[in-house]
Structure 1
């Protein structure tokens, strides 16, 4: 249980550098799609029904793009910059769909570090199992500010 347990903060802005990368892969399974549909009440048959999807240009069910965003925001929260970070902006394009049971391979790369604004820009590239681009864009996040920053500003106010 995480309540009451002090968790380690992610990296501060000074600990991040342009060019830093992280690669991850996540397979999209039925359970993931069913959780998404249940949470959002999104009933688009293109996401889950083979018969329906076969009548479209996609030919088979596709993964909702917001689920791909979720994989990215999870990586921001876990790794770059990590726990305590807050996403302030995101922009994505989806040149091709990702299909059920495909694995998305995502590359995150720090492209800009703005110490004055406590802001990091992370470029995102996502490909399917055969290397086709299914997602690209960027996320802007505020890394956590450590306790020493907060306590220093509290002292300044006293």
Structure 2
């Protein structure tokens, strides 16, 4: 990664209301185990089939925060893209997602505040049956235009 040129995402002036991005992700055991290991989350509802079958869910479910992580990745990589930062989020999870389910996420720009360098995105997630599994809004600061390197920015090296 070092030495590679990377393109920044859309700047605030490049965005317009109605811009959207849709992505789908299949949730596999490998992804779940990586998430649970990283967060040290041992909730039996997420991984123990014998426990989960005794709950109203009837099977293990995907952690809500993991779904939010997928949304965060879309913001970081696609809309607005690299260099952006989520400053606020509001999410609901109306239906649990089970393992091996494919979730389709759609993010759409619904407001732009140039003065505060912030955009508001609506977020919707649907499972393979078309049922809503995630809904919400995000406030995001898109990538800033980087400052140009000048002689004065390297004055400590002369």
TM-score (structure 2 length as normaliser): 0.91
> Do residues 107 (structure 1) and 106 (structure 2) align?
yes
Q: How many residues of Structure 1 are paired with residues of Structure 2 in the alignment? A: 151
| Correspondence 1:8 to 2:7 | yes
User: Aligned in 2, Cα 1:56/1:7: closer, same or farther, shift over 3 Å?
Assistant: same
- Quote how far apart the aligned CAs of 1:21 are: 1.2
Q: Which runs of 5+ in 1 are unaligned?
A: none
Deviation at 1:8, TM superposition (A): 1.2
Q: Structure 1: which 4+ aligned runs deviate by more than 4 Å?
A: 148-151
Tell me the residue number matched to 2:115. Answer: 116
How far is the alpha carbon of 1:138 from its aligned partner? 0.9
Partner of 2:74: 75
Counterpart CA distance in 2 for 1:65 and 1:142 is 23
Give unpaired runs (5+ residues) of structure 2.
Answer: 154-158
Going from structure 1 to structure 2, the CA distance change for 1:120 and 1:51 (only over 3 Å counts) comes to same
1:55-70, aligned counterparts within 5 Å?
55-70=54-69
CA 1:53–1:150: 2 relative to 1, 3 Å: farther
1:149 to partner: Cα distance: 8.2
Residue 103 of structure 1: CA displacement?
Answer: 0.5
Per the normalisation by structure 1, the TM-score is 0.91
Deviations, residues 111-157 of structure 1 (Å, cap 9, x unaligned): 01111111011100101000111100011111111125898xx9xxx
Q: Deviation string for 1:28-55 (max 9, x for gaps)?
A: 0000010011001100010011111000
Give, in angstroms, the shift of residue 4 of structure 1: 3.2
1:42 equivalent to 2:41? Answer yes
Matches of 2:148 and 2:67, distance apart in 1: 34
